[in-house]
Chain A
Amino acid sequence: MERNSTFNPLSFVNRQVRDIPPSGIRRFFDIAAAMEDVISLGVGEPDFITPWHIRSEAVKSLEKGRTYYTANAGLMELRTEIARYMKETIHVSYNPKNEIVVTVGASEALDAALRALIEPGDEVLIPEPSFVCYKPCTILAGGIPVPIETTAENGFKLTPELLRAAITEKTKLLVLPYPNNPTGGIMTEEDLSQIVPIIKEANIMVISDEIYSELTYTGKHVSIATFKDMKDRTVVINGFSKAFAMTGWRLGFACAHPDVLAAMLKIHQYGIMSAPTFSQYAAIEALKNGRADIERMKEEYNIRRKFLVDALNEMGMTCFNPYGAFYVFPSIKQFGMTSEEFCQKLLEEQRLAVVPGTAFGDSGEGYVRISYAYSKESIAKALKRLEAFSKDHL
């Protein structure tokens, strides 16, 4: 669209932004929102309310009148707690003074990391299926997203073969999205040990999105930053949304080498200033006294996970056993429909909303994402509808 003498607002919109397609999830759920009696297994956030002791600290901070900005990088007390938390969970030491920034959700941390590292034309490797933000944020930062298609056969893991095949001279970064949304795939210590040498040899950096790190069901999450010489090569991103059921608080953080962190901090301070103050006070409480809450919620997710996977398998929908996050990613290939068609029909015929796998990359074709961030009763209800659909179409 060219600008001419008649005022056309769209012609003023940045071309790159214009060219980014709308999110597959959004598009689909705008349809669902207009329908009645729809059961959804679509959302990507915990169904738990933030534990009361955490909410209460936020209220207290407001009562005390703590309504000012914090330091750009976040409250020192919070950064200190984050450092302690990282030391305890992934066994990596970060200096709260210059290696940690508190952000508005892990999303902002991701955006800041990409913008701090990418130069125009840099290639960014993105294993798919994965969270919908990596690609557009890479493009907006001037980079070229290079999807790596992982498969169910390999547990949706990033294998050394896949990684090696995707690296070129222009590769600058690898986004490591594990535990994975939407597949529930994880990278074990053994899996990571196979890709670490390739990363070092290619001399690239890693953005490790570990937002689901607390939600692993077959052992503790392992971060790539724990490997020898990988700490400085990795920006670790995490946050409070999934672990502590704090999505609406918009609070995340990034840990990185001081030089990289300083660059991210520039972007953060000019673009955002600082994360919300009351959210930060709540987060201190979450890290100090909220570990038991994580365990409680995880136990509940695990019950639903097993319930859902069993039910899907009994229904004849082959389901990769998810080891992390709160999603299952069953194959729908036997229905002979595309993911979009399947979801559309399921919505129209049974009023059940799940997310087409293609929303998470082309390699999501033939799959759908089902969230188990719902009560077991809701899941059971939804499964009845899915079963009816399956009877009609198989």
Chain B
Amino acid sequence: MELTRKILSLLEKNATYTPKDLSELLGEEEACVAEEIARLKESGVILGTKTLINWDKIAPELTVAIIELKVTPQKGEGFDKIAKEIYSFPEVRSVTLMSGGYDLAVTVVGNSMKDVAMFVGEKLSTLDTVVSTATHFVLKNYKVDGVFYTEEPEDERVITL
């Protein structure tokens, strides 16, 4: 279990680590690490590997919005059914059930503000169980998934002595 956690926390920080890298870092056999990773993939603990991209630099027109949804939970289904309906849209990047003032936090990506607004107006708010929506457009990312999206300062270190 200890090894599993260590492998996961290293891969979470840097998905490019090979089993060989990990075996060196953790002082374990490479085969053993590779086997554990395979097991974690099979059991759905490791779901996938993606690249973090700062799209603002390359496609500033891309628009991301966080939408607060209030919905009516359904008998026997709770929020799961409505959540599935929503996450099935390819425009939807994430759906999270929340406690507090609203029920579902939905992240939507579109090619423009209008795009996103139309999606919310036509696809989300028209769903039977949706009571209300509040759309918040993302203006700037500072830090996402632990990674700074702001410019790193130049290396200002000088050689002393």
Contacts and interface: CB of A to CB of B under 8 A. Distances in A.
Nearest to B156: A248
Interface string B108-130: 00000000000000000000000
B51 interface: no
Interface stretch (A42-50, A160-168, A314-322, A337-345): A42-50
A303 B25 contact: yes
B24 A306 contact: yes
Nearest to B155: A47
Nearest to B24: A306
A25 B157 contact: no
Contacts of A25: 159-161
Contacts of A33: 158-159
Contacts of B24: 306, 310
Contact of A132 (B21, B25, B161): B161
Contact of B159 (A43, A47, A133, A303): A43
A205 B150 CA distance: 51
A132 B160 CA distance: 11
A26 B25 contact: no
Interface residues of B, number: 9
B8 to A, nearest CB: 14
A21 B24 CA distance: 43
Contacts of B25: 302-303, 306
B159 A26 contact: yes
Contacts of A303: 21, 25
A26 B24 CA distance: 36
B49 to A, nearest CB: 18
B160 A44 contact: yes
Nearest to B157: A43
A181 to B, nearest CB: 10
Interface in B119-161: 155, 157-161
B157 to A, nearest CB: 5
Interface string A36-76: 00001011110100000000000000000000000000000
Given A302-B25, A306-B24, A23 B157 contact: no
Nearest to A42: B159
Contacts of B21: 303
A343 to B, nearest CB: 12
A47 B158 CA distance: 11
Contact of B161 (A32, A40, A133): A133
A44 B159 CA distance: 7
A389 interface: no
Nearest to B159: A29
A132 B24 CA distance: 33
A43 B159 CA distance: 5
Contacts of B159: 25-26, 29, 32-33, 40, 42-44, 353
A47 B157 contact: yes
Interface string A299-310: 000110010001
Contacts of A310: 24
Contacts of A133: 161
Instruction: Pick from B155, B158, B160, B161 the residue with the most CB of A within 10 Å.
Output: B161
Contacts of B158: 33, 43
A136 to B, nearest CB: 10
A47 B155 CA distance: 8
B159 to A, nearest CB: 4
B157 A45 contact: yes
Contacts of A132: 161
Nearest to B153: A49
A23 B161 contact: yes
Interface in A3-46: 23, 25-26, 29, 32-33, 40, 42-45
A272 B159 CA distance: 24
A25 B160 CA distance: 8
Contacts of A353: 159
Contacts of A306: 24-25
A47 B152 CA distance: 12
Contacts of B155: 47
Contacts of A23: 161
A188 to B, nearest CB: 18
Given A303-B25, A306-B24, A26 B161 contact: yes
Nearest to B17: A303
Interface string B87-119: 000000000000000000000000000000000
Contacts of A43: 157-159
A282 B15 CA distance: 34
A59 to B, nearest CB: 18
Closest 10 pairs (CB-CB, A-B): A29-B159, A43-B157, A23-B161, A306-B24, A42-B159, A25-B161, A132-B161, A43-B159, A303-B25, A45-B157
9 contacts: A26-B159, A29-B159, A42-B159, A43-B158, A43-B159, A44-B159, A132-B161, A302-B25, A310-B24
Interface of B: 21, 24-25, 155, 157-161
Given A25-B159, A25-B160, A26-B159, 7 more contacts: A25-B161, A40-B159, A44-B160, A45-B160, A47-B155, A47-B157, A310-B24
